[in-house]
Amino acid sequence: MNDFTHPRTPIALLDEFLVLEEWQSLLHFTLSQEAAFHPSEVLSGNGASRLDLAYRRSRVLFELGPFRQLFAERLMTFLPHILFRTGIEPFSVSQLELQLTASGGGEFFRTHTDNDSPGVGGRQVTFVYFFHTEPRGFAGGELRIADTDRDQGRALETGVSRLVQPLQNQLVCFPSGCLHEVLPVQSPTGAFAHSRFTVNGWFHR
């Protein structure tokens, strides 16, 4: 496990989150579900979902099959460590959101928070699990996490940020109220199998 903290936006990194057979099975499942992925949407100010290709481009799958239980159990096991490393006060988890995301060539997600829209205010901790085919068929796709202040409820960057590389079998966790973005992915082939894959989601209070 690797961790590093900052006074405003501490994060937690967990290496080798799944055992070899688990993440290889997850990759096989993901590749078999290519046709079931659909374009990712964003939340509007009124809480409704909409497609906005200038703001977010990726594909998403909400049905994880047998991997939903695997991730739910593993994440709950590590939650005390995650809360300690991120400086978040312990809380009772009311909901655990999970989804599979594929980001291919030219796809990205502009700077945003995860809990400032109606209906998602209960999100406390964001997690992103990275995996991909080997050899890796893409470049870029770093997760930029910005140190974040609040001014009258509005999230503001302090000018300090760090890049988290999408490393195989690594989980990153951070407070859902901090600003972050997915930088553009480059994929020479454009093949689905060469996407930047993640299992991402949120712990709700």
- Reading the chain (205 residues) residue by residue, the pLDDT tens digits are 544 444 467 899 999 999 999 999 999 999 999 999 999 999 887 778 999 999 999 999 999 999 999 999 999 999 999 999 999 999 999 999 999 999 999 999 999 999 998 899 999 999 999 999 999 999 999 999 999 998 888 999 988 899 999 999 999 999 999 999 999 999 999 999 999 999 999 999 9
Q: Could you tell me the domains of the chain?
A: 2-204 (2.60.120.620)
Would you state the pLDDT for residue 150? 87
Q: What is the 3-state secondary structure (H, E, C) of the chain?
A: CEEECCCCCCEEEECCCCCHHHHHHHHHHHHHCHHHCEECCEECCCCCEECCCCCEECEEECCCCCHHHHHHHHHHHHHHHHHHHHCCCCCCCCEEEEEEEEECCCCEEEEECCCCCCCCCCEEEEEEEEECCCCCCCEECCEEEEEEEEECCEEEEEEEEEEECCCCCEEEEEECCCCEEECCEECCCCCHHHCEEEEEEEEEC
